[in-house]
Structure 1
Amino acid sequence: MSTLSTYKAASAVALIAEKHFADHLHEAVHRGESDLAAAPSAIQIEIMLDIAFWASLRREEGISPKISIAFLSPAQAGSALQFEQKLEFSSKVLTKLGPGVERPGVHLGVWYDESGLYVWGTTHKIPNCCFVLDVSEPGLLVIKHRRMHGFGKFTNIMVLRGDQIKVVDESSANLPDCPILLTSLLGFTSKSDDNSVNVLIQLATSMRAHKHGGILLVVPSATDAWRESILKPVKYAVSPAFTGLTDLMADDQNRWTSSVWLGELSREIESIAGLTAIDGATVISDRYEVLAFGAKIGRIDGSPRVERVLLTEPVLGGEGKIVNPASSGGTRHISAAQFVHDQRDSIALVASQDGHFTIFTWSPCENLVHAHRIDSLLL
C-alpha cells in the first residue's frame, strides 16, 4: 500500500485495522448476525486517521475538537440527519463541525464515492461492527467498533497517541484468571454476562472521566468479611445499603433499551462514580448496593504487606511483569493491592488523576495480586 498520509502512524496501522474489521465481519456473518456494517479498506482507514489526527491539533474558538467518526452509508443509519450537499472529508470541515457533534452518542457519518471519502451527516444509530474513530483530545485517536451485544462502551481496537501506538491484544481474554470485566471490554462475553458487567465498565469510564482519581471496591454480597480490611470508624458508612442501581438492574430487560431507563442508569452510574472522587474507597456489593464511601483501607492483623503484584496490559507487547505495587501507581494502588490480597473474592477498580486505570484481582494461578492496566480500553 502506498503511503497516502503525512501522519506516519496512520500508514503503520491501516492494514492491521483493515484485517481486524474484515475478520470480525466474516465471523459475524458466519454466526448469522444481521445489521452489519461494511468494512473500510486500509487506504480509507489511513486517510481517516491522517485527517482526524491533523484535525485534533486544530482549534475552533480556542477549543480542540472531540469527534466520533462512523464509517457507514446513510442507508445503514436509519433516521439520521443528512446534509443537503456532501461535505469534503478534511481537517478543516471536521474542526468546524466539532462543536456541534461532541455530545456522547453522536457520530459524523462518513462514506465514499468515486471521488473519495465525504461527510454526509450525523447519526445516533450505527450497525454492528461499525468502524468508529474517536478524536478524544489533541493527538489522541481511538479506533473502536460497536459492541455486538449489550449497551454502553464500544470495544476499542487500537489507541494512537502521537507516534505511540497501542494495539489491543484480544488474546488477553484467554489468559488464566482473566476477570470478566476485562473479557467484556475485549468483546468476549456472552450477552447474558455482558448486560451485568457492562455496568462496571460504565462505572470505570465515569470514574476515569471525573479526573479526581478514586477507588471502587466490589465485594461479595453474601458476606461482611470486607469490613475487616476497612479502618474503623467508617465515616461514610451507608445503612441501609443504597439500592438505586440494584433496583434498576432488576427491572424487566425489555425496558433496558428505553430512553427513560437509560437516563436513569446514567444518573445512578454518575452518582456512584462521583462518590469515588471523595478521599478513601467507595464500596459496593456485587449486586451494586452502595455500602460505604470515603473508607480507609487497612491491613488485616497478621496479613503480610503486599510487595509483589503481576502487572499486565492487554495490548501487544504488554506481557506481564512482577513489580512492587507502587510501580503501578501511587498510594491508591498500594491500598487496593493490599485489599484484594486480603479479600480475595473482591476486586478493586482504581482510577488515577492522570487517566491511568487499573483493575486489581486475585490470581489463584499465580498466587498473587494481578494488576490489569486497562486505560487503553476505556478511552
Structure 2
Amino acid sequence: MIRKTTYAAAKTVAPAIEAHFAHHLTEAQERGELNLAPTPSVKVIEALIDAAFWASLRKEEGQSPRISLAFLPPDQAVKPLLFAQRLPLTSPNLTKLAPGVERPGIHIGVWKEHGELYMWGTTREILSFCFVLDVSEPGLLVVKHRRSRGFGKFANVAVLKGDVIKFIDERNDSLPDCPEVLTSLLGFNAPSTWDDSVNILVQLAVSMRAHGRGGTLLVVPTGSDTWQQSILHPVQYAISPAFSALAELMRQEKEDRSRSIWQGALRREIDGLAGLTAVDGATIINDQHELLAFGVKIIRSDSNELVEQIALTEPVLGNEPIIIHPSNNGGTRHLSAAQFVHDQRNATALVASQDGRFTIFSWSPCEMMVHAHRVDTLLL
C-alpha cells in the first residue's frame, strides 16, 4: 500500500491540490479538450510530496537533487524512456536517480498499481494538466501543471518550503490594472493566452531569474521615445537599428509555432536577450519585443517627483496588499525600476534579484501609484 506520509505539509496541502486539478480537468473536458492527464487523488499527492521532500534533503555525491515528477501512466507518455524494471517511489531511489534526470524538461514518470506508486521511466512530453512536482532545492517543492495545449512556462499551483505553504491565488488575474505578464502567469483556464501568442515576457522572466545575476528589463511603448527622458545619456549600449529577431519569430505563421525548430529558435533568442539583463544597468525593449538598449542607467528627470510609495502584492492565498516606501521593497535596482514606471506610466519593469526574488512593476490608474507584483512563486 502507499506508504504513510511523514511530511506534515503534504497532508495539509493535498486536499486543495486535488480540488484544483479536479476542477480544471472537468472544465477542460467540458470544453471538449482531449489528451488530458488523470486526476491525482489526495493519497497520491501526499505520497508524491512526501517522497520528494525527504529526497530533497538527501545528497548524492555531495549534490542535492533537482528533479521533476510527473503523475501519468507510461502508455500516455510521448516517446518515453522506459525502465526494464519498475522502481518503487522512495526517497533513496529518487536521490540515486537524480543526477541522470536533473536537466530541464526531463520528468520522472510515476504511476500507481495495486496500491503502490512506482517510477516507470522518464519523458519530456506530458499531457495537458498533468500533475508535476519539481524539487527546486533542499526543502523547496513546486506543484505545477502543463498548460492546456500550451508551450512554455508551466502553471504553478503551490509552493512548499519546509512548513511554509504558498497556494497560488488564481483570482489575482481579475484584479484591476493587472499587467499582461502576470495575467499570463496566472492564466490557468485561458489556454489561448499561450496557444495563439506565446507570452514572451513570461519566458524572459524565467530566463532572467535563471541566470542568477539579477537584472532589470524595461518594456516601453513602440513608436514612443519619451522613455529617453528617464535614462542617462549618452547610452553606451544603444542598439541601432533595433534588434528584431524575437519580433520576426512572433510574426511567423501560427501553425509554424508548434514546430521544434521554431521553438528552439525562440528559446535561443529569449536566453540571449535575458542574458543582456545581467549587464550592469537596465535592458530596454519595446512592446513588439525589439531590443533598443542595454546597460542603461535610470534617472529621475527634474520635471518628475520622487516616488514615495508603492502598492505591494503577491499572488498567493491570504496575501493582502500593503503600501510601502519603495526602498523597503529591495535595493537600488528595485527603487530605480519603481521610479521609471512612476515617470513612464505606459511602461512595465521586470526586476530579478540575485536571490531569486522577482517583481513586476506597473502603473495602477485605480490606485494612482506604482504597483509592485512579487511573482517569484510563479516562476519556480
Note the 1:1-379 alignment, pairs <5 A.
Answer: 4-188=4-188, 190-194=190-194, 195-196=196-197, 198-379=199-380
> In structure 1, how many angstroms separate the alpha carbons of the residues matched to 2:210 and 2:36?
30
> In structure 2, how many angstroms separate the alpha carbons of the residues matched to 1:278 and 1:48?
40
Instruction: Compare 135-144 and 191-200 and name the one that shifted more.
Output: 191-200
> In structure 1, how many angstroms separate the alpha carbons of the residues matched to 2:335 and 2:214?
14
> In structure 1, how many angstroms separate the alpha carbons of the residues matched to 2:183 and 2:212?
25
Count residues in correspondence: 378
Q: TM-score, normalised by structure 2?
A: 0.97
Match for 1:26: what amino acid? T
Question: Are the counterparts in 1 of residues 187 and 193 from structure 2 also a CA contact under 8 Å?
Answer: no
> In structure 2, how many angstroms separate the alpha carbons of the residues matched to 1:291 and 1:191?
30
Q: TM-score, normalised by structure 1?
A: 0.97
Q: Structure 1 pair 367/161, CA: closer, same or farther in 2 (3 Å)?
A: same
| Secondary structure at 1:256 match in 2 | helix
> In structure 2, how many angstroms separate the alpha carbons of the residues matched to 1:239 and 1:189?
40
Query: How many angstroms does 1:261 deviate by?
Result: 1.5
Query: How many angstroms does 1:32 deviate by?
Result: 1.0
CA RMSD of aligned residues (A): 1.4
Query: How many angstroms does 1:89 deviate by?
Result: 0.4
> In structure 2, how many angstroms separate the alpha carbons of the residues matched to 1:355 and 1:184?
20
Q: Structure 1 pair 197/216, CA: closer, same or farther in 2 (3 Å)?
A: farther
Question: Are the counterparts in 2 of residues 153 and 198 from structure 1 also a CA contact under 8 Å?
Answer: no
Question: Are the counterparts in 2 of residues 150 and 198 from structure 1 also a CA contact under 8 Å?
Answer: no
Query: How many angstroms does 1:288 deviate by?
Result: 0.7
Specify every segment of 5 or more residues in structure 1 that has no aligned partner in the other structure, as ranges.
none
Deviations 1:190-228 (A, max 9, x none): 455435452111100111111111100001112111111
Match for 2:99: what amino acid? P
Question: Are the counterparts in 2 of residues 4 and 11 from structure 1 also a CA contact under 8 Å?
Answer: no
> In structure 2, how many angstroms separate the alpha carbons of the residues matched to 1:246 and 1:197?
12
| Secondary structure at 1:247 match in 2 | helix
Question: Are the counterparts in 1 of residues 155 and 188 from structure 2 also a CA contact under 8 Å?
Answer: no
Match for 1:24: what amino acid? H
Match for 1:378: what amino acid? L
Deviations 1:128-147 (A, max 9, x none): 11000001111110000101
Deviations 1:150-182 (A, max 9, x none): 311000000001111111001111111111111
> In structure 2, how many angstroms separate the alpha carbons of the residues matched to 1:346 and 1:367?
15
Identity score, percent: 61
| Secondary structure at 2:202 match in 1 | helix
